[in-house]
Amino acid sequence: MAIIARLKEDIESIYHRDPAANSTIEIIFNYPGMHAIWIHRISHKLWLVNWRFTARCLSTFSRWLTGVEIHPGATIGRRFFIDHGMGVVIGETAEIGDDCTLYHSVTLGGTTWQPGKRHPTLGNNVVIGAGAKVLGPITMHDGARVGSNSVVVKDVASDHTVVGIPGRVVSSPTNQSKEKTERRTEMAKKYGFDAYAVSPDNPDPVANAIGQMLDHMHLMDSKVQELCNAIQQMGGEVCTKKLPELNVDAFDEASREAATIRKQDIDKFDPSI
């Protein structure tokens, strides 16, 4: 692949993954993660032809310039994106596939002083959150995700999310979980709040509590509808009117009233003793 085309591909990948990127010239001058990748490509070529001292010196210069340390022996695929960059460390035998994303302070490190393969292998479309550590000759398969500040020491299957210390799989995607997420999202929209992070595989306890409340409301609505249908079959006239749509403005008004009351209470408070 031509050098210019490869550079354009790198810039386009940043556009797709970072909404803060406003122009090509901004990306060229202000994305140290991209600078580190470009320098690594040169040092990696030198490493492969046994100019290893020069390769290491160039890698050290890159670390000084960008705050990103990539060993020249590491193998990196296309459209690799290091966001922010500072504190990222990638070891000698690390292998990274295409379209992967690393955030700041990520370490792809080893767990042994023995020669040979001792650093992680990342498949395609892997995302590793800020501060996470992926250690040892493990494999993160395509589409794997690692939460911020997690420590991963075991293989991660495709499309799985790992969080915590030590890293644990939050959940595996299933058709049932996807349907539940879609249902929660639709119900959440009716109540006027963003349904971001209410999926069943999210470790946030508040988001999970909201998700369980939405599931309970869905179940209650279903039970009430079944009861109405049974009564109607017996000749009763119930549930003939359609339930009114939820008025989001009413929630906003209640929120404003609560804020006003809190402000009044604060104004009335006398801290003097």
**What are residue 139's DSSP bridge partners?**
121
Examine the pLDDT at 197 and tell me if it is beyond 90: no
- Clarify whether residues 142 and 230 are in a common domain: no
pLDDT band per the 50, 70, 90 thresholds, residue 69: very high
pLDDT, tens only, 156-176: 988 888 888 888 887 665 566
- Clarify whether residues 146 and 193 are in a common domain: no
- Clarify whether residues 152 and 50 are in a common domain: yes
Q: Which of 169, 201, 228 represents a domain boundary (last residue)?
A: 169
- Clarify whether residues 59 and 140 are in a common domain: yes
Cα angle value 190/194/200 (rounded, 5°):
95
- Clarify whether residues 56 and 101 are in a common domain: yes
Reported as half-sphere exposure (CB side, CA atoms, 13 A), residue 55 has a value of 19
What does the pLDDT read at residue 4? 83
Tell me how far apart the alpha carbons of residues 101 and 88 are, in angstroms, rounded to a whole number.
12
Tell me how far apart the alpha carbons of residues 179 and 155 are, in angstroms, rounded to a whole number.
27
Domain interval for residue 238: 175-268
pLDDT band per the 50, 70, 90 thresholds, residue 190: low
pLDDT, tens only, 23-47: 889 888 989 999 999 999 999 999 9
Residue 134 inside a domain? The answer is yes
pLDDT, tens only, 95-110: 999 999 999 999 999 8
What does the pLDDT read at residue 229? 85
Identify the residue with better confidence: 174 or 231. 231
- Clarify whether residues 77 and 185 are in a common domain: no
For the domain that residue 13 is a member of, what is the CATH number?
Answer: 2.160.10.10
Count: domains in the chain: 2
pLDDT band per the 50, 70, 90 thresholds, residue 54: very high
Examine the pLDDT at 126 and tell me if it is beyond 80: yes
- Clarify whether residues 141 and 219 are in a common domain: no
Q: Which of 136, 169, 202 represents a domain boundary (last residue)?
A: 169
Residue 273 inside a domain? The answer is no
Q: Which of 169, 184, 199 represents a domain boundary (last residue)?
A: 169
What does the pLDDT read at residue 194? 46
- Clarify whether residues 157 and 180 are in a common domain: no
